Chains A and B, each alone.
Chain A
Amino acid sequence: KAGVTQTPRYLIKTRGQQVTLSCSPISGHRSVSWYQQTPGQGLQFLFEYFSETQRNKGNFPGRFSGRQFSNSRSEMNVSTLELGDSALYLCASSLGPGLAGGPPHEQYFGPGTRLTVT
């Protein structure tokens, strides 16, 4: 089974531009989560999608947005890029939320997209 794929792997943008990152989950997985990884802040949760609906959102400004398509593929968009948005953006897929009150399904991570803002 193919793993989580993310495109592009590397991206260089300038301040003020916008960017769209793509994530294809493992076949059969319906949940996609996005995380930002920086040396200073570590790994921070951005948002999670399940069945094309945003189910949870982290503490990021509205410039960060995402969506999920009917085939479970997801995109995230960052508008009006700032230097501080330079980071590794990781996507993770899972089967879904799991049974109520039970342990969650495991999340499997992609290789990430390295975004550099100059």
Chain B
Amino acid sequence: GNSVTQMEGPVTLSEEAFLTINCTYTATGYPSLFWYVQYPGEGLQLLLKATKADDKGSNKGFEATYRKETTSFHLEKGSVQVSDSAVYFCALRGRNSGYSTLTFGKGTMLLVSP
């Protein structure tokens, strides 16, 4: 079955530091890959996505590249801000052969200090 593994947190950084959150996946075929962010007391927000190999998703300074050869989708940001403090979830969803569901990683908490 499908599975997503992401690095455990919390990840603690100072403002303006470089961020990497690792994510690897196991899936049959060619899934779509997603990063979601959850701020305290809120639901999930889609941060970025990639639907095929070598696609780069980007949004709000965050980037992730779909690497089929390493089955990875690592999240990066060049300069984090305090407002980026949240929990980040890597997820995948299979190509359409029915109604495939989102499979999530465990989440990585990011704490950014001023």
A residues within 8 Å of B by Cβ? 4, 6, 33, 35, 42-43, 45, 48, 50, 55-56, 58, 90, 92, 97-104, 106-112
Q: How far is the CA of A99 from the CA of B96 in the complex (A)?
A: 7
Total residue contacts A-B, CB cutoff 8 A: 68
Q: Kindly specify which of B17-25, B69-77, B78-86, B99-107 makes contact with the partner chain.
A: B99-107
Q: Determine whether the beta carbon of A101 is less than 8 Å from that of B104.
A: no
Q: Determine whether the beta carbon of A56 is less than 8 Å from that of B104.
A: no
Q: Determine whether the beta carbon of A90 is less than 8 Å from that of B43.
A: yes
Per DSSP, are chain B's interface residues mostly helix, strand or loop, or mixed? loop
Kindly list chain B residues whose C-beta atoms are within 8 Å of the C-beta of A100.
96-97
Kindly list chain B residues whose C-beta atoms are within 8 Å of the C-beta of A97.
96, 98-99
Q: How far is the CA of A39 from the CA of B36 in the complex (A)?
A: 17
